Homo-oligomer: A and B are copies of this chain.
């Protein structure tokens, strides 16, 4: 059955598989101290124009979020995120498990509003009892968001300005970064993205890799970040598996090329749904698309195509999610015309 269930249903881009095979019996040092990791880091620095950045490779998204957040916070601090932020919902409390509260602001289509962030911080420090509360220690946003939406450059700059005013590091969860940066609606160039935050990660798992997320500290990583990674159980013995994958993805722009493909497929997919009279639940310009349909219609469609029920809309209707990826075939998208 054709599937638009998620962007992690297949393995990896074929060139990754090929290189894994080609280099398989090579002997390298462990823990990311190999030449593939070095090469991948150099290519990432080049691609994002951050020549002094400190780049590290971890295995998965939840792991990356909790490791990076714990490394940036002091014990009395929490991380500010919107209520739909992945760290506060679908990560089984991994951040709290490291001792830190997720401090939530309302989301707007999955996004944080800079004005609301500033108002929260102002009110926080104006409150005479603030020392009895969790001190905000950093800000977490996702690009694209959990709803596929994007911050404009101006929006990111506004959030960054508030963060700087309050000396809060800004961390961008880029589990689907490629799909954000390559969207036709995005006005942030790859070369300027890194300048808009203090740390971000480049999602590999959902964008062509078997697994892996590349964390980019745009200035420098916290001291002893290697040890922090190990302490979080996030250090791969055969670290080159991560280096080799990111080296491949950042050779000749592969990462961005395959991400753009997914966005194009999503655009065609959305067009078909709109043609057929469906309405979007949220207007996403990236690889996750959300539509409204009756529960009955959704039930019927589940027999023909794989997708996810997202949330109830009202008594009769729900929102559903269709996801494209680097691996989506155009013929499968077009086949939706007959199916939906």
Contacts and interface: CB of A to CB of B under 8 A. Distances in A.
A251 interface: no
Copies of this protein, total:
4
B205 A238 contact: yes
Nearest to A240: B11
Contacts of A98: 75, 97, 99
A89 B230 CA distance: 12
Interface of A is mostly: loop
A156 to B, nearest CB: 26
B235 A62 contact: yes
Nearest to A18: B21
A223 interface: yes
A24 B12 contact: yes
B30 A10 contact: no
Interface string A219-242: 000111011101111111110010
Interface in A46-75: 59-67, 70-71, 74-75
A237 B211 contact: yes
A278 interface: no
B131 A75 contact: no
Contact of A66 (B5, B70, B227, B233): B233
Interface in A1-44: 3, 5-6, 8-12, 14, 17, 20-21, 23-30
Nearest to A99: B97
A19 to B, nearest CB: 10
Contacts of A93: 76, 78, 99-101, 133-134, 231
B60 A132 contact: no
A134 B5 contact: no
A265 interface: no
A210 interface: yes
A234 B99 CA distance: 17
Given A75-B228, A233-B66, A92 B11 contact: no
Nearest to A63: B233
Given A17-B20, A74-B222, A131-B227, 17 more contacts: A11-B26, A11-B241, A20-B20, A21-B21, A60-B235, A62-B230, A62-B235, A71-B75, A76-B92, A92-B231, A94-B231, A96-B101, A97-B99, A131-B226, A132-B230, A206-B237, A210-B238
6 contacts: A11-B20, A17-B24, A78-B93, A93-B133, A94-B233, A232-B233
Name the 10 nearest CB pairs between A and B, nearest first: A63-B233, A11-B24, A93-B134, A92-B230, A9-B27, A92-B231, A96-B101, A76-B227, A93-B101, A8-B237
